[in-house]
Structure 1
Amino acid sequence: MKTRVLTILFALFVSVVYAQETTKVGKLVEVKEGSERTEVALLNNRIHIEDNYGTDTTHIRVGKRSVEIVEEGGKTNINMQRDRFFDDDDKDWGDSWRRKNFNGHWAGFELGVNGFFNTDYSAYTEGDFMDLNQAKSIEVNFNFLEYNIALSPDRIGLVTGMGWSINNYRFDNPLTIEKQDGIIVPVPIEKEGFDKSKLTASYLTVPLLLEFQIPVNGGSNEVFVSGGVVGALNIGSHTKIKANSSKSKDHGSFAINPFKYSVVGRIGLKDISLFASYGLSTFFKDDKGPELYPFTIGISLLNF
């Protein structure tokens, strides 16, 4: 597992730093980045992610399950279905990472709402320029690897693995951000024709969770509660502006902290759970931007 994790981290790091058109490492990772879309294939294409910039559509396929996220007309629509045209011969690929006597809850698809807490703009005169349109600041998580360590058979265990997290921060005001002399500053956008502006940051995540499972309904179901920490490595970020029926996108580090540490808690029944995370590290590097601590509240829609 350690070798695979390091290989994936290295491959994605190379793809971000050198911005190659295609990066491929065996059957584990393939990243294709173009002017209109980015495609990522993980684990021999068992997980496929396509982010289409032109149509504001993100399509995710995990095995035979398909999720489509569409931003259109000021709304975000989510469509889920089963892809009958994808032939996944290895039906139990997810189970290969699990201990049979304890099955935790990490692997799956999650949606959440992003925000910032304990903000400090004392070094700025512009005010709270990172204010967000909360309902449209969406986090999308694909937790694609899971490994469980049983502490008590069937009921208590440690859960770890790996995930891919995409954090969208939709600005509430007509502005974007730039890094000038190493410092993040707001840049106003002409209001006429303005539609939207956002910052997107992507991370590889690794959790360490302690999970308790409580049987209910005579043991036919179980409620689970887990908590712990999640470490994350920033693997890319960009701003995006839509105005006057045109779109522009700017890649950069934007002084975002390369490492993120968060405390996480979740509670659920079967394959549905609610989760919340709070960042222990600041969103931007120290003294490079306003002091912001990110948080997310969301729901896990499925497990695989």
Structure 2
Amino acid sequence: MKKTLSAIALLCICHSGFAQKDSIFVNRDKDTISLGGIIILKKGNPEEKNRITVTLGKPQKNRKNSNLTTHSVFFDLGFANWTDNTDYLSATSNSDLISRPGSSAIGSKDFKLRAGKSSNFNIWLIGQRLNLANHQFNLKYALGFEIFNYRFKSNLSFSEGGFNPYDHNQDIAHAFIYTDSVSFSKNKLVTKYLTIPVMLNFRSNPEYSNRGVNLSAGVSFGYLIGSRTKQKSSERGKQKNRGDFDLERWKFAYVGEIGIGSINIYGTYSPKSLFRNELNFQPYAIGLRFSNW
């Protein structure tokens, strides 16, 4: 075997004649020969079957983390709901709510959502992470669209204003919600925002994005760019109604995420009401984030 090693070394030396920049290093104690980017290592004891490892090229070093990392087009998918702090007596007296004659007055029970079918879907066009300290503490921000689907259990309908559907002598000059006489198999309110979240981020293992713990917390600022209702019934078929519905144009929310490895969970809660009128709903959502940006 020693003769074999010597032959290989001699061959490498001959090769080095054509590449003057290569260097030769022989470590007799460790039976190691290093020739430029080629490393020959003899392993094993004389009593054992000898093994030889040949490595081509220089050992790869971990690339340095960039101070600014950019991710494009990633998604969130979760469940949406809201907390209800509405003063229904005040909302009714202000004609924000209209009850159908012969039925009970609209109350919190009518605004209960179908939890399993009320959803939040976000499309982030771009997200960046800026290093603040040792790549463990970062500033994260993104730009994208938030879409909330609120599925109602009850037969509520939204109007942009006009005559009371049950009293044509009353002309209401603002948006209102009323109990419909039709039974809906599908009834939902959809809101869409252009949103910028800003968060402080901690990463326990900055060398590998798919390892360690990832924690983020911050706020988001959104602007309402679209809203509509979608209803389905046997009497009217499918109906879509686009409108403002007296929704609050600006959305402020607390946001956060926690991740272990490549699995990330996000959450968002808005302390500000969804509506501008007497209705007082604070929306929130929780779900999976399909990115570790």
Normalised-by-shorter TM-score class: 0.5 to 0.7
What residue is the counterpart of 1:144 in the other structure?
Answer: 125
Contact 1:185–1:289 (8 Å) recurs in 2: no
Give the secondary-structure state (helix, strand or coil) at the position aligned to 2:66: coil
Residues 191-202 of structure 1: pairs in structure 2 closer than 5 A = 191=183, 194-202=184-192
Q: Look up the match of 2:57.
A: none
Equivalent position amino acid for 2:262 in 1: D
Q: Report the equivalent of 1:101.
A: 67
Cα distance between partner residues in 2 of 1:291 and 1:264: 20
**In the alignment, residue 244 of structure 2 is paired with which amino acid?**
S
Identity percentage over the alignment?
27
Question: What is the TM-score of this pair, normalised by structure 1?
Answer: 0.61
Match of 1:255 in 2: 246
2:287 counterpart residue number: 298
Report the AA paired with residue 148 of structure 1.
R
Query: What secondary structure sits across from 1:221 in the alignment?
Result: coil
Distance 1:165 1:216, change over 3 A: closer
Q: Which of 1 and 2 has greater Rg? A: 2
1:13-24 to 2 correspondences below 5 Å:
none
1:242 is aligned to 232
Work out the CA distance in 1 between the residues paired with 2:260 and 2:241: 41
1:175 to 135, 156, 159: 156
Identify the residue that residue 256 of structure 2 maps to in structure 1: 265
Following superposition, the deviation at residue 175 of structure 1 comes to 2.2
Counterpart code for 1:110? D
| Cα shift at 1:186 | 2.2
State yes or no: 1:185 paired with 2:187. no
Using the alignment, how far apart are the partners of 2:130 and 2:75 within structure 1? 22
Aligned-residue offset at 1:212: 0.2
CA distance in 2, matches of 1:195, 1:174: 9
Are the equivalent residues in 1 in contact too, given 2:262–2:292 (CA < 8 A)?
A: yes
| Aligned-partner Cα distance in 1 for 2:221–2:181 | 34
- Runs of at least 5 residues in structure 1 that lack an aligned partner in the other structure: 1-98
Q: Match for 1:198: what amino acid? A: K
Report what 1:276 is aligned to: 267
Q: How far did residue 134 of structure 1 move?
A: 1.1
CA drift at 1:219: 9.3
Q: Per the alignment, do residues 247 and 214 of structure 1 end up closer, same or farther by CA in structure 2, a change over 3 Å counting?
A: same
The structure showing larger relative contact order (alpha-carbon pairs under 8 Å, at least 6 residues apart) is 2
1:1-304 paired onto structure 2 within 5 Å: 100-101=66-67, 103=69, 108-122=74-88, 123=90, 124=92, 125-128=105-108, 129-180=110-161, 181-191=173-183, 194-215=184-205, 221-244=211-234, 246-285=237-276, 288-302=277-291
Contact 1:104 1:211 in 2 (8 A): no
Gaps of 5+ in 2: 1-64, 93-104, 162-172
Say how many residue pairs are matched: 202
Alignment deviations for residues 136-173 of structure 1 (CA, whole Å, 9 cap, x no partner): 01110011111222111321111112011110000111
Question: What value does the CA root-mean-square deviation take over the aligned residues?
Answer: 2.6
Q: Answer 1 or 2: which has greater strand percent.
A: 1
Query: What is the TM-score of this pair, normalised by structure 2?
Result: 0.63
For the residue of structure 2 that corresponds to 1:229, the secondary structure is strand
Single out whichever of 233-242 and 207-216 deviates more from structure 2. 207-216
